[in-house]
Amino acid sequence: MKLHEFQAKELFSRYGIPTQRGIVIARPEDIDGLDVPYPVVVKAQVLVGGRGKAGGIKLAKTPAEAKQHAQAILGMSIKGEVVRRLLIAEAAEIQAEYYLAFTLDRQARQMVAIASASGGIDIEEVARTTPERIVKRHVDAFIGFQPFQSRELATGIGLRENHLTAFAGIAANLYRLAVQEEAELVEINPLAVADGKLLAVDAKVILDDSAAFRHPDRPPTEEETELERAARQADLSYVELDGDLAIIGNGAGLVMSTLDVVAQFGGRPANFLDVGGGATTENMAAAMEIALRKPGVRALYINIFGGITRCDDIARAIAVRPLRVPIAVRLTGTNEAEGRRLLEAAGIHAFLDAEEAAREAVRLAGEVVS
């Protein structure tokens, strides 16, 4: 599980790694009356790197300026992730940027410390272009990360003598964090020299999910919507979108292609549910209930290609429901004849062709068919 920067920085503080003070907000208005000294840095909280390059990190000298940046960054999409929260932190006056991380070297079956003189740049890029600027030291799990290794890393990246003690402290704490929290990666990029002191300006932590049971206090993965939770409890995979046509299919590939075809006909999916292989009548009924609970849904498209899933089981769920919206059904495969008979008896026409059905679904949702 990847942590957001603000969550990773909370961990850093707990482990005595110096970071800037900051507050998380979700609306530009929240800037008013914030108790942070200016200038501040406005930072998009999304789980992807390269936020700075994408325009998701901006410095602001005044609250008015911070508000402008907040307006621009909130709602922005960075590598496909929509920004819903911002970290407003005291801006650091950066004199130099370094890189420091601990990660699991699976081949060596050891943690490895990685440091670089080129901070603020993607470490993969440094490895490609200037590998000589990267220093690595493996950590013996039984004796832990040693102070002499800190010194070797620090001198290897050309850190000034007066920062050595602080660097050793940060590295030791970062290693302790990685071990105690059971992380796969802990990364500070950049580890900056600001106001003459070392400071973690960015924080990245990836926790080992297989160890989650030992850490009941870990933050919740991602906030779930009510419908996402209902779907998870019913063992269905559900994704919420913002259109008005609900979509149910069986199998991830089929559902993905269904979304494409619907989009091609000008439809806007409201959500999609994958009932998976071998869905029963009950699974299907639960899926329909969840898909239609979303406000603003104007039609439902059910695309089933029966394999292990039996068309008659699916049809039973569709046929018994009085639905609040019109539906288009594509049904083919195992027990198709029986499935179609059940639907016809309930006055529902089932398409054989997925494209025709998609076109009909889009029409029902009141969209343009092109």
What are the catalytic residues? 99, 187
Q: Would you count residue 202 as binding Mn ion (CB under 5 A)?
A: yes
| Long-range contacts, stretch 195-200, CB < 8 angstroms, 24+ apart | 195/92, 195/93, 196/95, 197/18, 197/166, 198/18, 198/163, 198/166, 198/167, 198/170, 199/18, 199/19, 199/20, 199/92, 200/9, 200/12, 200/17, 200/18, 200/19, 200/170
Of residues 127 through 186, those in contact with Mn ion by CB under 5 A are none
Residue with tokens 């950066």: 94
Among Mn ion, ligand GDP, none, partner that 174 touches (CB below 5 to 8 angstroms by kind) = none
Determine if 116 is a binding residue for Mn ion (CB under 5 A).
no
Q: Residue 325 binds what, of Mn ion, ligand GDP, none (CB under 5 to 8 Å, by partner type)?
A: none
Instruction: Tell me which of Mn ion, ligand GDP, none is bound by residue 72, counting a contact when its beta carbon lies within the kind-specific cut-off of 5 to 8 angstroms.
Output: none
Q: Which is nearer to ligand GDP, 49 or 169 (CB)?
A: 49
What pairs with residue 330 in β-bridges? 303, 351
Instruction: Tell me the Ramachandran region of residue 69: left when phi exceeds 0, alpha when psi lies from -120 to 50, beta otherwise.
Output: alpha
Shortest Å distance, C-beta 350 to ligand GDP = 49
The helix/strand count (H/E) of the chain reads as: 11, 18
Burial 232-256 (b: 16+ CB within 10 A, else e): eebebebeeeebbbbbbbbbeebbe
Across the strands, what pairs with 23?
88
Binding of Mn ion by 312 (CB under 5 A): no
Q: Which of ligand GDP, Mn ion, none sits in contact with 63, Cβ below 5 to 8 A by type?
A: none
Amino acid at position 316, single letter: R
User: At its nearest, how many Å lie between ligand GDP and the CB of residue 35?
Assistant: 17
Q: Tell me the residue type at 312.
A: D
Tokens, residue 51:
């936020």
Going by C-alpha positions, the residue among 53, 42, 54 that lies closest to residue 5 is: 42
Nearer to ligand GDP, 193 or 357 (CB): 193
How far is 362 from 272, CA to CA, in rounded Å?
14
Instruction: Choose among ligand GDP, Mn ion, none what residue 51 binds, the Cβ cut-off being 5 to 8 Å by kind.
Output: ligand GDP
Residues that bind ligand GDP (CB under 6 A): 41, 49-52, 57, 59, 91-92, 94, 97, 120, 189-190, 201-202
**Residue 88 binding partner per list ligand GDP, Mn ion, none, with a CB distance cut-off of 5 to 8 Å that depends on partner kind:** none
Q: In this chain, which stretch among 149-157, 201-209, 290-298, 341-349 interacts with Mn ion, using CB under 5 A?
A: 201-209
Q: Which is nearer to ligand GDP, 125 or 355 (CB)?
A: 125
Residue 18 site contact among Mn ion, ligand GDP, none (CB < 5 to 8 Å, cut-off depends on kind) = none
- The four Cα atoms 219, 222, 223, 224 give a dihedral, to 10 degrees, of -130
Nearer to Mn ion, 53 or 232 (CB): 53
For Mn ion, the closer CB: 49 or 266: 49
Q: How far is the CB of 51 from ligand GDP (least distance, A)?
A: 3
Minimum CB distance to ligand GDP smaller for 192 or for 315? 192
Could you tell me the CA-to-CA distances from 187 to 180, 217, 306, 368 in Å, in that order?
15, 21, 47, 48
DSSP string, 25-59: ESSGGGGTT---PSSEEEEE--SSS-TTTTT-EEE
Minimum separation from the CB atom of position 97 to ligand GDP (A): 6
Smallest distance from the beta carbon of 76 to Mn ion, in angstroms?
Answer: 17
Among residues 163 and 340, whose Cβ is nearest to ligand GDP? 163
Q: Least distance (Å) from ligand GDP to the CB of residue 58? A: 9
Instruction: Write the CA distances from 141 to 17, 72, 108, 204, integer angstroms.
Output: 21, 46, 11, 22
189 binds Mn ion per the rule CB under 5 A: yes
- Determine, following the binding rule CB under 5 A, whether residue 187 of this chain makes contact with Mn ion: no
- The residue ranges that bind Mn ion (CB under 5 A) are 189, 202
